Amino acid sequence: MERWTRFVLRQRWPILAVWLVVLVAGFVANMRLGPLLSNEFRVPGTDSERVRTILTEHFGDRSDGNFLVVARVADASDPGVRGRLEAAMRRAAADVPSAHADRLVPAGKHVLFGNITSTLDIVGAKKWTKTVRADVDHVAGAQVYVSGVAALQADIDPIFKQDLTLGEGIAAPVAVLVLLLVLGISFAVFIPFLFALSAIFATLGVVYLLAHEMSMASYVVNLVFLIGLGIAIDYSLLVVYRFREEIRVDGDKDEAVVRTMATAGRAVVFSGATVAIGLALLIAMPLPFMRSMGIGGFLIPLFSVVAALTVQPALLSLF
């Protein structure tokens, strides 16, 4: 640990530059991550999943890629309204890959409903929600609603984002208050947040890449922010407090960093590794939803440990 810390101190500026690139790349990836996430509660190997596969491969139908069109009309038996609605559904189906429009079915005197069926999965289908709604909107004599699994997921995504923003808005001021009470008014207060941002956005950058190849739950982002912020504050308080004890010994800043990382830094590494291994066990579950949560839970403490070994000693030497 001592030799590694001395190496980091010698290369502090290149290391911080690399982390700055990682942070910016992760931030950009996070902005583009939402459309790739979905909450699919499927269980591979079950009878229901085999039926879904048969429907997709032989009948061109995938339930989570369908759009349910419901229209409120004055008279469900009016052929003019039905014709205009079916024409609008055909236009929408033409815009969605692999989709076709089913016939409308009456549900009482004032309701018609039908499906725009496709073989897209939920991630591929939800991004066409706005297009489908625009194509079937403003049909004369009908008030049209678009639902279905894909449309619901598209509507829920902004709510997740708002909830995450709200949670951050509450957690960040509380964290700042706690850090000010413990560390006092100094640049040391910035270390936990720079630590957290580095680990969080590095993790989300990897999640963005993995989301192109596998199903990733929408809750992964919340999990990463929650654990990332908690770990950063926890580890930073431990390391900064120990650093202040060490620097009182002889006043040599770099030597104090070396001694700090040899003690508190070592504890942080073992703690982070334990958290990572514990959450990584979720990856062994044969459920894509839980597996994605395990990947996010494994990556954030892993990157936190890497940041603790690189970003934190570099920042201590500067602040």
| pLDDT beyond 90 at 290 | no
For 226-246, the pLDDT digits (tens) are 888 888 888 888 888 888 888
Rg of the chain over all Cα atoms, to the nearest angstrom: 26
Dist. CA 296–CA 262, nearest whole Å = 28
pTM as predicted: 0.76
Per-residue pLDDT tens over the stretch 132-187: 999 998 888 899 999 998 899 888 888 877 887 787 788 778 877 877 777 777 77
Burial of 284 (0-12, 13-18, 19+ CB in 10 A): exposed
Summary mean pLDDT of the chain = 87
Sign of CA pseudo-dihedral 19, 246, 179, 184: negative
Rounded to a whole number, what is the distance in angstroms from the first to the last CA of the chain?
Answer: 21
Using 50, 70 and 90 to split pLDDT, how confident is the model at 296?
A: very high
- For the cut 80, the answer to whether the pLDDT of residue 258 exceeds it is yes
